[in-house]
Amino acid sequence: MSRTLMKGNEALARAAIRGGCTHFFGYPITPQNEIPEYFARELPKAGGLFLQAESEIAAVNMLYGSAAAGAQAMTSSSSPGLALMQEGISMLAATEIPCVIVNVMRGGPGLGTIQPAQSDYFQMTRGGGNGDYRILSLAPATVQESAEMMEESFALAQKYRTPVFLVSDGLLGQMMEPVQFDRHTKKKRAGNKRWILTGHHHRRPPRTIKSLRLDPAKLESHNLELQDKYGRISRRETRFELYRMNDAELVFCAFGSTARIVKNSIDDLRQKGCRAGLIRPQTLWPFPVQPFKTLPESGKAVICVEMNCGQMVDDVRLAVEGRMPVHFYGRCGGVIPEPAELSEYALELLTGGAA
């Protein structure tokens, strides 16, 4: 099968159309502009609709309306844009509207930078919008994996009637790599469509999509139903990759493009006689707790590496539950860590130097 050299962002857009995306709404922001630009060119040809919104607030609400009317809709943005969408995302979660939201992360807080970062781990896993809700967050590490996860995300959104996050970053979105698309797409027919707004045609009572429940008992039971669903998603969709973990004494944890850099330092460390391995969460929520519960006997310490000031490390600590020390190494503001600095940090740590 042939491979195409593609930018991460364009691969995402192409994969989305293959995955069944019919409607795209978005507002320009770097470093994700190639995504809406691709949709503007290609989605109408595929029979779909691209519409540029006046803001991310409008975009997420257009997405809400479109998906409520039965479209397989998506939007994409980058960190500050995602912050603006949070009210709408809370609404999408409350009303259980299937849709996909891409975040090509950049550095923050505030306008921060347009350079790559992973500063939105909290935004992608802790809500940001109000209320008790969870969003399935897929975190690819290569352009190939971006395409595969993107293509599958629409089926996942439909399966659980939930918004899905695809968490990329400026590095992954802008880099070019060969991608291979399967001959067959992962497009799936949607299941139960009885919630979609179609007009009642005088054949059934009017249907309402809503989040407001002023009766505490009703809101509590709705919340508990949502929690049940999040439990199902946790049990079935938690994903992670293990790299050289069998005999690891030093266990790295990293996601997305950072994980690739970490793999390089692991290979380097192994050549220097230090047995290092990696747990790479492929879903940020649900966070893969299980590999931390079954760390190899050889394990001495965990190092969480992120392109931020320490966000995922909270989840790592919760998963490790004090069984061994958890250290954090981060670069931020658009600075990308070098494999050599990670190796150096790890070696110092083993010899008792690093804090």
Residues at the interface with other proteins (CB under 8 A): 23, 25, 49, 51, 53-55, 57-59, 61-71, 73, 87-88, 91, 95, 197-203, 206-212
Strands 240-243 and 276-281 come out as antiparallel
Question: Smallest distance, Å, CB 202 to other proteins?
Answer: 5
Q: CA gyration radius for the chain?
A: 21
Name the residue nearer to other proteins (CB basis): 68 or 150.
68
* In the block, residue with structure tokens 């946790």: 234
Name the residue nearer to other proteins (CB basis): 95 or 298.
95
Q: What is the DSSP letter of 336?
A: P
Question: Smallest distance, Å, CB 49 to other proteins?
Answer: 6
User: For residues 147 and 3, what is the distance between their CA atoms, to the nearest angstrom?
Assistant: 12
Residue 281, phi-psi category: left (phi > 0), alpha (psi -120 to 50), beta (remainder): beta
Name the residue nearer to other proteins (CB basis): 53 or 307.
53
Element (H, E) at 89: helix 79-95
User: For residues 131 and 118, what is the distance between their CA atoms, to the nearest angstrom?
Assistant: 24
Name the residue nearer to other proteins (CB basis): 57 or 242.
57
Question: Smallest distance, Å, CB 135 to other proteins?
Answer: 17
User: For residues 24 and 21, what is the distance between their CA atoms, to the nearest angstrom?
Assistant: 8
Question: Smallest distance, Å, CB 60 to other proteins?
Answer: 8
Name the residue nearer to other proteins (CB basis): 54 or 297.
54
Question: Smallest distance, Å, CB 125 to other proteins?
Answer: 22
Task: Tell which residue, 163, 97, 159, has the closest CA to residue 136.
Answer: 163
